[in-house]
Amino acid sequence: SQQGEEDPQALSIQEGENATMNCSYKTSINNLQWYRQNSGRGLVHLILIRSNEREKHSGRLRVTLDTSKKSSSLLITASRAADTASYFCASRASGSRLTFGEGTQLTVNP
Amino acid sequence: EAGVVQSPRYKIIEKKQPVAFWCNPISGHNTLYWYLQNLGQGPELLIRYENEEAVDDSQLPKDRFSAERLKGVDSTLKIQPAELGDSAVYLCASSLGGPTTEAFFGQGTRLTVV
């Protein structure tokens, strides 16, 4: 398969809790990106972390990258019902191909 | 600024019929992608263009799928003939180009083959 793996496949939490999603990829990368997709909509870019970075923050989002393990995690703090969506990681190798994982379906209950 | 525009949003066709999807990327974006997304799965790359050149089409089933990007702007993706297994969402995305740029996605075209 061209895709990496994400876990969990589905995550259900209460508003205010933190949500952590993990992603693994297969090849050496230039950067790794996280996208969000609301039901029936296109994907929206959230954050990009370069291969020489280990951690990056954007608002309530925190992304980590471990290139030795070929893995990344996305943490959403103080979750809100509006964060309910599918979240995908996408790895970009040197040739500019953007390869997506299977995604995590996050449900935040009010 | 307008985002990536795709049409139609929905398409229902009978198997063995042809179908075409259209994409208008963000102005100035050199890179254009077509992805296929099955329900509950991540997008899978079909083809990537740099301007009008298809630079990555190894995942495109060339026996029935074709794509073009005339003048390096708009793009069309065609399936002929369509099969039941082609039912999916077809996503178009564009980016400025280069490895550190983000991709901007259209709303997608949901294809149902009956």
Q: How many CB atoms lie within 10 A of CB A70?
A: 17
pLDDT at B82: 97
| Interatomic CA distance for residues B93 and A103, integer angstroms | 18
pLDDT at B71 over 90: no
From the number of C-beta atoms within 10 Å of its C-beta (0-12, 13-18, 19+), residue A19 rates as buried
Average pLDDT, chain B: 94
The minimal CB distance from A42 to the residues B48, B59, B106 is found for B106
Q: How confident is the model at residue A4 (pLDDT cuts 50, 70, 90)?
A: low
Please give the residue of chain A at the shortest CA–CA distance from B36: A100
Q: Is the pLDDT of residue A1 over 70?
A: no
Q: Hey, are the CB atoms on B108 and A42 less than 8 Å from each other?
A: yes
pLDDT average, residue stretch B79-91: 97
Q: How confident is the model at residue B31 (pLDDT cuts 50, 70, 90)?
A: very high
Q: Which residues pair with B88 in a beta bridge?
A: B111
Residues of B in contact with A43 (CB under 8 A): 43, 91, 93, 103, 105
- Which chain A residues have a beta carbon less than 8 Å from that of B46? none
Complete DSSP assignment for B60-91: S-TTTEEEE-GGGS-EEEEESS--GGG-EEEE
- Given a cut of 60, whether residue A2 has pLDDT beyond it is no
**C-alpha–C-alpha distance, residues A72 and A84, integer Å:** 20
Q: What is the pLDDT of residues A23-52, one digit of tens each?
A: 999 888 999 999 999 988 889 999 999 999
Residues of A in contact with B48 (CB under 8 A): 96-97
A44 SS3 class: strand
Query: pLDDT per residue over A54-98, tens digit each?
Result: 999 999 999 999 999 999 999 999 999 999 999 999 999 876 788
